[in-house]
Amino acid sequence: MIIRTWALSVIFAASRINATPVPAQKVHSHNDYLQTVPLFTALDNGVTSVEADLWLHDGNLFVAHKENEIDASKTFDSVYIQPLVKLIDEQTYGDLFTRDNPLQLLVDFKSDGDELSFSFSSHQTLFIFSFSSFSPILAALEPLRSKGYLTTFKDSVYTQSFVTAVGTGNTPLDKVLASNPRDLFFDAPLTDIAAKPPAEGLVWSKEIAPLASADLKDAVGILNWLAAQVGIVTSGTKNALNKLVGDAHQLDGVKSRLYGTPNLDCVTIAFIKEGLDWINADDLRHVKDLLGLKSRFLYNWRGCGCVW
């Protein structure tokens, strides 16, 4: 089953012409593993930020939305790692993602961190969830690391590569800061990024946290969040986002992201207007088209029921 999944990915990659898709800037493939062909659907739409939920089961990492939905054929290695390594080796997508413009891979580890005391052979990924998971995740990144495909911070030098791995959830910040070389970075708390430095004498930057995220509800408050669910982007929401995005952009190389956002076109456009760097999306082609200049102009001209 695992071999079949990997083989299908290889066939899919081999069947396409080596042409670079038009980049879909700002689009983040939320729950990417639920796409028709994980990773490839995103890349074919020019999307260079993908996210997968990971579960550790019987010593293997699987991609699934819920633990009871685990499919033995869908391992992290077969769905993401091996295809990604092959794509980089062969430059299948041209300059869609490069050392100067890396792919952002977000990995949301769903299993209990205590279970991660096992040693496993998977690799690459970005969202670490507990102190006990830190070392195994670093080990899992080795296939990318050994080829020089991971963005790295070593001896005060930041070197971008094809994939930037960022840990979220219960990632131990102290362990990230202590790592030299560092190729697993931190997902900073967007709502606190201006008030709480990573440690005494340090400031947030891409060398520590190239990404800062927040739940929309936490970012704008419950009343503004409720309004957004029905397509109303209030002045309170606009002001809150303007401040948070501004806080992130005052730092070196830190980009902003919101999750828990409604799948409403007018809300998406309003958030982009406030400068948000990453928009969570499930319908990748639709959101890519929506954010195109022509679509954005038509959408604003017609109106969409939003208030901002």
Token couple for 120: 């496993």
Lowest-confidence segment of 104-108, 236-240, 247-251, 284-288 by average pLDDT: 104-108
pLDDT at 304: 52
Query: Residue 301 above 60 pLDDT?
Result: no
pLDDT at 43: 96
The mean pLDDT value for 270-276 works out to 92
Condensed to tens digits (0 to 9), the pLDDT of residues 212-228 reads: 999 999 999 999 999 99
> Percent of the chain, pLDDT > 70?
80
The mean pLDDT value for 180-201 works out to 95
108 or 70: whose pLDDT is higher?
A: 70
- Structure pTM? 0.83
Condensed to tens digits (0 to 9), the pLDDT of residues 233-261 reads: 999 999 999 999 999 999 999 999 999 99
Query: Residue 130 above 50 pLDDT?
Result: no
